[in-house]
Amino acid sequence: MVAQRDQVRRTWREGEMLVQGLGQLRQLGYVVRDIHAAMDHWTRRLGVGPFFYFERAPVLDFHYRNEPSRAAASGAFSNLGAVQIELIQPLDDHPSVFNDFLNSGLEGLQHFAFWTQEFDACVERFAAQGAAIVQQGYTGNRNGRFAYFETEAHPGTMIEISEVQDKKAELFERVAEASRRWDGSDPVRSLSTP
């Protein structure tokens, strides 16, 4: 892990700040060992909910360090005000940044995300600043791409750029609206994987 952090530090260009100008922070992503316990904690203890839960997140064309990976994860989404809370539990040992995080002995906040409709431009901007994509794929359709950038010199600071359009945008708005009106009932709402 130390060698990996040193490599990340070497790829950054001195004086450049990656997230300046990306707009509002939209998501905090927590990697957990038990997603059901995590949803219970967030809903019953913290009062954040409801969570929209995928037993197996619908991720396609998943790549880790430029190699295809069959990694699978459960995922759940809710909102805390304007910020989405994402819970992720790996379901296997296939390569992913989520397994890297847990295998390093950590659990909790793993990344924060910015949403965009200009995905290619954001990816190019990060690449120009020396940030490398470590994990990528898409959800829903090709307009639901995501990329995680190897910027984590400190736990919980990996950055995700997420393209939010079409079905993904509709789901995220549904999550936000349900959170605004949530009265504590029906705290976990299962979603089917297409």
Domain-located, residue 24? no
Q: What global pTM score does this model have? A: 0.89
Domain-located, residue 147? yes
Domain-located, residue 73? yes
Q: What is the pLDDT of residues 65-84, one digit of tens each?
A: 999 999 999 999 999 999 99
For residue 45, the domain's CATH number is 3.10.180.10
Domain-located, residue 150? yes
Domain-located, residue 187? no
Domain-located, residue 8? yes
Total number of domains constituting the chain: 1
Q: What is the pLDDT of residues 125-164, one digit of tens each?
A: 988 888 889 999 999 778 899 999 987 566 668 999 999 9
**What is the extent of the structural domain holding 44?**
2-12+38-182
Secondary structure E strands in the chain:
27-31, 51-54, 59-64, 67-68, 73-80, 83-90, 108-116, 133-139, 145-149, 158-163, 188-191
